[in-house]
């Protein structure tokens, strides 16, 4: 029986023992069966590796950042196609199947964007999930990145840029498009379990990502005044004002968070550029 081309599913982890089993189980349950699972761990001190090994999957240790982990996973992958996942995700059953069908029938497609639905419990997680819901309505050019690639396109574009932390997904997306490939989008969802301990924790992360954002903006010639850098320039919010009106509490929370994230990310950008990080 022809089981189709091999898909290498690459997971990056660091101390994910509470959630890794959920992701692996969702990969195993995929309708598309011809796949291998590769887990690239970054020196976890909990039971992440032990939990993963119980599933009989290949586990490797590599770092220091997720871009390096992903590139290493791609290097050792045997598949014709690559799917990169984070531990706080869960796949609906047709994700891999839809990706393979599209990329097999469209030679110009080098990568595929997969819509995500946020799962939230705390207030700030619900605010972030509300924001992300705008991007996932029909897709958003300013925020969409790709997770599924033909290995040929991934290698041609040099994989993830390890000099960029934060917008490395956007950087690879831009490089893929400039290389002449198209990026498609499927309908099947990935559930993304939001993990926001506090508003301060969220802003710390945004500051950290901002430190090397100047490298991305310079490399891809992205204007400082654009929908990628200034959240309030993103058309998806203004096309769906009815949703803002019908969810006033979440809308106010989202506007506040976006302002604070803009400040934290901008500060990180200035510090990183000044210190030449």
How many domains are contained in the chain? 1
Residue 1 has pLDDT above 70, yes or no: no
Residue 241 has pLDDT above 60, yes or no: yes
Tell me if 240 is assigned to some domain. Answer: no
Percent of the chain whose pLDDT exceeds 90: 93
Tell me if 238 is assigned to some domain. Answer: no
Tell me if 247 is assigned to some domain. Answer: no
Tell me if 24 is assigned to some domain. Answer: yes
Tell me if 203 is assigned to some domain. Answer: no
How sure is the predictor about 3, in pLDDT bands with cuts at 50, 70 and 90?
low
Q: What's the whole-number average pLDDT of the chain?
A: 95
Tell me if 250 is assigned to some domain. Answer: no
pLDDT digits (tens, 9 = 90+) for 35-55: 999 999 999 999 999 999 999
**For 204-228, what is the mean pLDDT?**
95
How sure is the predictor about 2, in pLDDT bands with cuts at 50, 70 and 90?
very low
Residue 141 has pLDDT above 90, yes or no: no
Tell me if 163 is assigned to some domain. Answer: yes
**For 3-15, what is the mean pLDDT?**
93
User: What distance in Å separates the CA atoms of residue 65 and residue 172, rounded to the nearest whole number?
Assistant: 16
Prediction pTM value: 0.94
Quote the domain boundaries for residue 122: 7-198
pLDDT digits (tens, 9 = 90+) for 121-134: 999 999 999 999 99
Q: Rounded to the nearest 5 degrees, what angle is found at the Cα of 50, between the Cα atoms of 46 and 55? A: 140
How sure is the predictor about 142, in pLDDT bands with cuts at 50, 70 and 90?
confident
- Tracing tokens 């559930």 back to the chain, one arrives at 191
User: What distance in Å separates the CA atoms of residue 67 and residue 47, rounded to the nearest whole number?
Assistant: 22
CATH assignment at residue 93: 3.90.550.10
Tell me if 61 is assigned to some domain. Answer: yes
User: What distance in Å separates the CA atoms of residue 148 and residue 94, rounded to the nearest whole number?
Assistant: 13
Centre a 10 Å sphere on the Cβ of residue 45 and count the other Cβ atoms it contains: 8
pLDDT digits (tens, 9 = 90+) for 169-194: 999 999 999 999 999 999 999 999 99
């Amino acid at each position: 029986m022809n089981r189709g081309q091999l898909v290498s599913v690459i997971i990056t982890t660091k101390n994910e023992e509470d959630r890794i089993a959920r992701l692996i189980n969702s990969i195993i349950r995929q309708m598309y069966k011809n796949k291998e699972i590769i887990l690239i761990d970054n020196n976890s001190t909990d039971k992440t590796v032990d939990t993963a090994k119980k599933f009989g999957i290949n586990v490797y240790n590599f770092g220091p950042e997720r871009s390096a982990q992903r590139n290493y996973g791609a290097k050792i992958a045997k598949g014709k196609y690559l799917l990169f996942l984070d531990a706080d995700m869960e796949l609906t059953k047709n994700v891999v199947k839809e990706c393979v069908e599209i990329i097999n029938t469209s030679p110009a497609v080098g990568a595929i964007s997969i819509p995500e639905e946020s799962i939230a419990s705390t207030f700030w997680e619900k605010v972030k999930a509300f924001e992300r819901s705008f991007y996932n309505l029909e897709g958003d050019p300013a925020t969409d990145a790709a997770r599924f690639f033909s290995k040929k396109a991934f290698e041609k574009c040099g994989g993830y840029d390890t000099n960029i932390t934060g917008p490395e997904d956007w950087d690879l997306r831009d490089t893929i498009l400039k290389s002449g490939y198209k990026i498609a989008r499927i309908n099947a969802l990935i559930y993304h379990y939001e993990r926001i301990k506090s508003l301060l924790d969220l802003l710390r992360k945004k500051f950290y990502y901002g430190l090397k954002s100047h490298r991305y903006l310079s490399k891809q010639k992205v204007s400082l005044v654009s929908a990628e850098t200034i959240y309030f320039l993103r058309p998806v919010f203004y096309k769906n004002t009815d949703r803002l009106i019908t969810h006033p509490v979440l809308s106010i929370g989202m506007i506040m968070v976006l302002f604070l994230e803009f400040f934290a990310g901008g500060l990180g950008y200035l510090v990183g550029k000044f210190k030449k990080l």
